[in-house]
Structure 1
């Protein structure tokens, strides 16, 4: 039963929605800042402080659109202790057949603290919990509503001393039916199955996320084969490091392209989960 739930198309939504965290962060910080490692001039920092003060002076009123987005997301989860004010991020940008809403808030607590808090809440409610910890700084936890095939998630992304938490609610079954094709030029391991991809266009760049599984194999075999494939296609692989006993994370770079790939093997299973987030500059070939 658990294996059937794990491979249900609705559960593939969870990994796809994690890309919202990456895209939302890059939209908020700007592509230039992301590309140059977050470095900003003294003038830019001063301008940012002035903008923040002006926004505070204008008050904290929300638009009807933002209130609707928050209602579609936050109403399914209790408020997180020690969190900042939640804000709407986006809604219904994948087409009329894919209802989706995303909000976010920040906290000083770690990614693991947030994920464990909501996991315990969901288990206490008797809900069918799904979740994945990509590394110390990112993961998600949530649940699936069988009647509507809606997935409701809390996704985390740690940056410095702050954790950004993205709250999403989506019915993406129809989207996943057409999302199985991996875009050209996106490197994935040979034999990847149950693939799902999501591309989000931003100013100056496109973020593409691909998830999938490799069956009847082991983490070392997949990692070796994937690294050989990347070298053969001209990718530079750096910062290869184990993120856990059965997980590996690597950074991929090529002219105008930068990606983060995670390979993970669940305990006592001959299956490897794959997750790739790839940023492509508009000037990239």
Structure 2
């Protein structure tokens, strides 16, 4: 099982880069149908964008010089996947001039785990320090950090509709992380949250905000109970908790003009709770 939780800058950078790569899906496709009132979860948006990626590949036989440059910035660090389709450029440098980033993608009929294990073995055989997470049966990432370049290079997977979309990304995230380590005003997170990483993506009619972090020296039931009480005190409506898996809980929270989904997860045999919140804020929200 691919599950390598590490207390290292590379892990935090990689976790943020996965969210940033998902943002690249939306930007690369010009997909702007997310509006408050028809809000989808981050995974649903990624799945819909992945469908559009497949359709776009069928419509676009050639590549521009820009696309070739994006592919060179991403694919040169990993060998071609044996059962993969034709790689395509997705997006680049959409976080500002101080954060170089490039994202490409390809699809395969193989499972998410097959892809992740293939590239994990390649990286280990090359003697590279692997960082990776298997979120569930359908999604995860594997990659490595290059300290001298301050660059993280990842293969992220999303399996849906009988195929796996693989997103290849490389980015120098230090400047982004320096400004992403703060929680935007009005966004509810558990008290004592550390190793914070946030991303705000403006879309048509709404802003999607994601915040991730960790509550150290804690157990899931206590963190969940305190977080639910905190939300109620701040005027949020909270749905009944849905047990997403062993030692994992998901909450849906709403206020006028705001809707979010929070997940709380305790890695096995660790006294730490991982937190992730995806919140959609309408432009009319206070």
TM-score bracket relative to the smaller structure: 0.7 to 0.9
Counterpart CA distance in 2 for 1:30 and 1:106 is 23
Q: CA separation of 1:37/1:226 partners in 2, compared to 1, >3 Å: closer, same or farther?
A: closer
How big is the alpha-carbon RMSD for the aligned residues of Structure 1 and Structure 2?
2.9
* Unmatched tracts of structure 1, length 5 or more: 39-47
Q: CA separation of 1:254/1:213 partners in 2, compared to 1, >3 Å: closer, same or farther?
A: same
Counterpart CA distance in 2 for 1:239 and 1:117 is 39
Q: Secondary structure at the match of 1:164?
A: strand
Q: Which aligned pairs between 1:220-235 and structure 2 lie closer than 5 A?
A: 220-235=221-236
Q: Between Structure 1 and Structure 2, how many residues are aligned?
A: 268
Q: Which aligned pairs between 1:39-188 and structure 2 lie closer than 5 A?
A: 56=58, 60-188=61-189
Q: CA separation of 1:230/1:143 partners in 2, compared to 1, >3 Å: closer, same or farther?
A: same
Q: CA separation of 1:178/1:32 partners in 2, compared to 1, >3 Å: closer, same or farther?
A: closer
Aligned position for 1:16:
16
Cα deviation for residue 8 of structure 1 reads 3.4
> Which of structure 1's runs of 4+ aligned residues deviate more than 4 A?
none
* Unmatched tracts of structure 2, length 5 or more: 42-50
Q: CA separation of 1:157/1:132 partners in 2, compared to 1, >3 Å: closer, same or farther?
A: same
Aligned position for 2:242:
241
Maintained 8 Å contact 2:182/2:198: yes
Q: CA separation of 1:206/1:36 partners in 2, compared to 1, >3 Å: closer, same or farther?
A: closer
Q: CA separation of 1:206/1:165 partners in 2, compared to 1, >3 Å: closer, same or farther?
A: farther
Maintained 8 Å contact 1:10/1:173: no
Counterpart CA distance in 1 for 2:239 and 2:189 is 16
TM-score normalised per structure 1: 0.81
Q: Secondary structure at the match of 2:13?
A: helix
Q: CA separation of 1:56/1:267 partners in 2, compared to 1, >3 Å: closer, same or farther?
A: closer
Maintained 8 Å contact 2:35/2:282: no
Aligned position for 1:42:
none
